[in-house]
Structure 1
Amino acid sequence: MLEVKGLSKHFGGIRAVDNCSFSAEKGRITALIGPNGAGKTTAFNCISRTMTPTAGEVWLDGERIDHLRPHRITAKGLSRTFQISRNLADMTVLENVICQSKISGWRDLFKPAMSPSEIDKAMAILDFLGITRIAHEDGSNLSYGQKKLMDLAALLMSDPKIILLDEPAGGVNPTLLEEIVGHIRALNDKGMTVLIVEHNMELIMRLSHRVVVMAQGTVIADGTPEEVQKNPAVLEAYLGGALEDAA
């Protein structure tokens, strides 16, 4: 579904992502992990084109997309969340979700701000996520976990083929975390391809089919959760860095 080839992003002499290559198999959950500063979110930004890559290629379902603008990539079927919710605080949850709907063209300018079909679709997604009760809440009144669920709902409005989740568990209480994990599994069971960046290793190891490990901007390991846990390079990247920090 997604293939990244030789992706690089340089900031002057800093190589945040350096000749990075990996893929996300259709219908599977792939995790992108690594210590802080490994380049995971920068790679996400380059894939979704919210940041222009220095070099490399990104292919979605057999079509090259790294030259497209972000809204065109979304239209092709790739949607993402961000570490920090980008909701509009002066709008309700329902309005925030609907504003992520697909745009068909200039004729949409003459349609109501929220069409009946969009409302029905958004409410169905909120129902799937179990948050219809907050549909008319102001976005600024939500808890951190509720904002994560709202972001997930908004992402689904574009009918994506693959979703990129940037730390969906970050700052979420354990109960709500299990709900989010359940929703990700349910989406995957329906055929959704998922690429996830997350620091919660226990979650990653029980949720993912495949794990790609980054360190210092490049891929150092790629395999099943069991294989990655035993990989000496991965242990060195995590434990070596931790020991250096402690020292």
Structure 2
Amino acid sequence: MLEVKNMSKRFGGIRAVDDCSFTVRKGEITALIGPNGAGKTTAFNCISRTMAPTSGEVWLDGERIDGLRPHQITRRGLSRTFQISRNLADMTVLENVICQSRTEGWRDMFRPALSEAEIAKAMGILDFLGITRIAQEDGSNLSYGQKKLMDLAALLMSDPKIILLDEPAGGVNPTLLEEIVGHIRELNAKGLTVLIVEHNMELIMRLSDRVVVMAQGTVIAEGTPEEVRADPAVLDAYLGGVLEAEE
């Protein structure tokens, strides 16, 4: 579904992503993990083209996309969330979900603010996520977890075939986290491919089909959660301390 080939991103003399290559298989949940500063979010930004890679290629379902604009990539079936919710001020949850899902660039300026079809679709997604009760709530008044669900709703409005989730568990209480995990599993069961960046190792190990590990901007390991957990390079670079703390 997704293939990253020799991708790099430099900021002056700093290589945030350095000759990074990995694949995401269709229909699977793949986790991208690594210590702080490993380059995970920068990789996400380059894949979704919110940031231009310095070099390398990104392929989606057999089509090269690293030269496209973000809304063009979204139209081709790849959508992503961000670590921090990007809700628009003074707008309701329903308005945020619809406005953030527009993918026609400047043409969207000439469309109705909220069409009946968009409202019906958005309300259906909010119902799936169990948050129709906050549809008319100001987006800025939501809890951190509710904002995560609003972002997920906006992402689903574009009918993606692959979603990139950047730390969906960050700052979320345990009860709501299990709801989010349940939604991810249900979406995946319906055929949606998932790539997820997350620091919650317990969550990653029970949710993912495959794990890609980054350190210092490059991929150091790929495999099943069990294979990655036992990989000496991964233990040395990142997981060792986490696993020791769990035992």
Following superposition, the deviation at residue 241 of structure 1 comes to 7.8
Normalised to the residue count of structure 1, the TM-score between the two structures is 0.94
Corresponding residue number in structure 2 for 1:203: 203
Partner of 1:187: 187
Query: 1:38, CA displacement in angstroms?
Result: 0.4
1:121 Cα deviation from its structure 2 partner: 0.1
TM-superposition CA deviations, 1:107-145 (whole Å, max 9, x none):
754542111110000000000000000000001110000
Aligned to 1:147: 147
Over residues 199-246 of structure 1, what are the superposed CA-to-partner deviations in whole Å (9 max), with x where a residue is unaligned? 00000000000000000000000000000000000000016788xxxx
> Counterpart in 1 of 2:97?
97
Write the mapping of 1:8-19 to structure 2, written as runs, cut at 5 A. Answer: 8-19=8-19
Q: State the shift of 1:100 in Å.
A: 2.7
CA–CA distance in 1 between the matches of 2:6 and 2:106?
37
Alpha-carbon distance in structure 2 between the residues aligned to 1:106 and 1:46 = 22
- Secondary structure (helix, strand or coil) at the match of 1:127 reads helix
Question: 1:205 and 1:116 mapped to 2: Cα distance?
Answer: 41
CA distance in 1, matches of 2:101, 2:39: 30
Gaps of at least 5 residues in structure 2 are: 243-247
| 2:219 corresponds to 1:219 | yes
Distance in 2 between the 1:240 and 1:202 partners?
Answer: 13
Q: Is the 8 A contact 1:100 1:158 kept in 2?
A: no
SS of structure 2 residue aligned to 1:169: coil
C-alpha distance 135-235 of structure 1, shift in aligned 2 (>3 A): same
Alignment match, 1:119: 119
- The residue aligned with 2:3 is 3
Tell me the distance in 2 between the aligned counterparts of 1:188 and 1:169: 17
Q: Which amino acid aligns with 1:49?
A: R
Q: 1:137 to 1:35 in 2, by over 3 A?
A: same
CA–CA separation in structure 2 for the residues paired with 1:205 and 1:7: 26
Q: Deviations over 1:152-205 (max 9, x none)?
A: 000011111100000000000000000000000000000000000000000000
2-structure distance, mates of 1:212, 1:107: 38
Contact 2:71 / 2:103 at 8 angstroms: preserved in 1? no
Alpha-carbon distance, 1:11 to partner? 1.1
Corresponding residue of 1:57: 57
Q: Which residue of 2 aligns with 1:31?
A: 31
Decide whether aligned partners of structure 1 residues 17 and 128 sit closer, same or farther in structure 2, where only a CA change above 3 A counts.
same
CA contact (8 A) 2:234 2:240 kept: no
Counterparts in 2 of 1:41 and 1:107: CA distance versus 1, 3 Å: closer
State the distance in 2 between where 1:47 and 1:108 align.
23
Query: TM-score normalised to the size of structure 2?
Result: 0.94
Is the alpha carbon distance of 1:122 and 1:192 closer, same or farther for their aligned partners in structure 2, counting shifts above 3 Å?
same
C-alpha distance in 2 between matches for 1:214 and 1:108: 37
Note the C-alpha offset of 1:101.
3.3
Runs of 4+ in 1 over 6 A off after TM superposition: none
- Structure 1 residues 168-179: aligned runs within 5 Å: 168-179=168-179
Distance in 1, matches of 2:15 and 2:240, equals 20
Task: Report the Cα distance in structure 2 between the residues aligned to 1:103 and 1:2, rounded to whole angstroms.
Answer: 20
